Amino acid sequence: MTSPICVALDTPDLDRALTLTAAVSGHAGYVKIGMELFYAHGHAGYEAVARAGVPVFLDLKLHDIPNTVAQGLTSLMTMAPRPAIINIHAGAGAPTMQAARAAIDALDGDKPKLIALTVLTSLAADDISEIGYDPALETRQLVIQQAELAKACGLDGVVCSPLEARAIKQACGANFLTVVPGIRPASADVQDQKRIATPVDARRNGADVLVIGRAITGANDPAAAIAEIAEDLKEACV
């Protein structure tokens, strides 16, 4: 079984990304490459990490009109090996999500899971009403509405907080992928995350993939830190 742990590399430094990938490769199901590494090193940087053999979640959060997102995805899919997971914003709307789905479906060979960002976990209720959403709309309701729309557009899952994963599974079905950041082992610092859970609680609450950054990458020994999390998950059978 693939490990549910996805290590967020979160560095623009390619050598560090490669060192971290090697350190966690025994226990990581995925590594996550984000904007900082991709904008600094492009296709070659991505491919250097992906060739290490750990499946990659390419977290570029595309958000644009349908034609641009579809063509952007097609350009990204010329890289080899292809990512296992890629994401776009649900806020770009149904026409963009449908165009993205069609672009991925048109590929020959391995196709990544296409998932949607719902409401960013950095936004609180005030921030959401400030950008024009109905202040009466609860964040959780908005997240579920966007997850249902993503499902209706044929997407494979969403990124959500550990507190929403179960409700999304209930609304969208057990096979709809929940990729969950905001994970903190009980002993770790909360830092800037707000809606958090431990790895074991997140899995029990319906998270398929646990995106973990600083609790692993900021540890003195990242290999030991991920091994400990993997052991906790094994003991809890989740």
Give me the active site residues, please.
Answer: 61
Please state the closest distance from residue 34 (CB atom) to ligand C5P, in A: 6
* Amino acid code (one letter) for 60: L
Q: For ligand C5P, which residue of 213, 222, 229, 230 counts as binding (CB under 6 A)? A: 213
Listed in sequence order, the DSSP H helices in 77-211 are 94-105, 125-130, 139-152, 165-172, 199-204
Q: Which is nearer to ligand C5P, 50 or 196 (CB)?
A: 196
Distances (CA, A) of 222 to 49, 55, 219: 17, 18, 5
User: 132: buried, middle or exposed (CB in 10 Å: 19+, 13-18, 0-12)?
Assistant: exposed
Note whether 212 binds ligand C5P by CB under 6 A: yes
Please state the closest distance from residue 122 (CB atom) to ligand C5P, in A: 7
Q: Where does this chain touch ligand C5P (CB under 6 A) — which range of 16-24, 108-116, 139-147, 206-214?
A: 206-214
Q: Where does this chain touch ligand C5P (CB under 6 A) — which range of 73-81, 146-154, 200-208, 213-221?
A: 213-221
Note whether 195 binds ligand C5P by CB under 6 A: no
Note whether 214 binds ligand C5P by CB under 6 A: yes
Q: For ligand C5P, which residue of 7, 10, 20, 28 counts as binding (CB under 6 A)? A: 10
Please state the closest distance from residue 84 (CB atom) to ligand C5P, in A: 16
d(CA 8, CA 40): 16
| Of 219, 232, 237, nearest in space to 7 by CA | 219
d(CA 3, CA 23): 15
In three-state secondary structure terms, 87 is: strand
Please state the closest distance from residue 179 (CB atom) to ligand C5P, in A: 9
Q: For ligand C5P, which residue of 181, 199, 206, 222 counts as binding (CB under 6 A)? A: 181
Please state the closest distance from residue 211 (CB atom) to ligand C5P, in A: 5
Exposed e or buried b for every residue in 186-201, given b needs 16+ CB within 10 A?
eebeeeebebbbbbbb
| Of 84, 29, 31, 85, nearest in space to 61 by CA | 85
Note whether 107 binds ligand C5P by CB under 6 A: no
Note whether 11 binds ligand C5P by CB under 6 A: no
At residue 186, what are phi and psi to the nearest 5 degrees? -55, -35
Q: Where does this chain touch ligand C5P (CB under 6 A) — which range of 20-28, 43-51, 65-73, 207-215?
A: 207-215
Q: Which is nearer to ligand C5P, 6 or 76 (CB)?
A: 6
What are the structure tokens assigned to 223, written together? Answer: 């290999």
Instruction: Give residues in contact with ligand C5P (CB under 6 A).
Output: 8, 10, 32, 34, 120-121, 159, 181-182, 193, 211-215
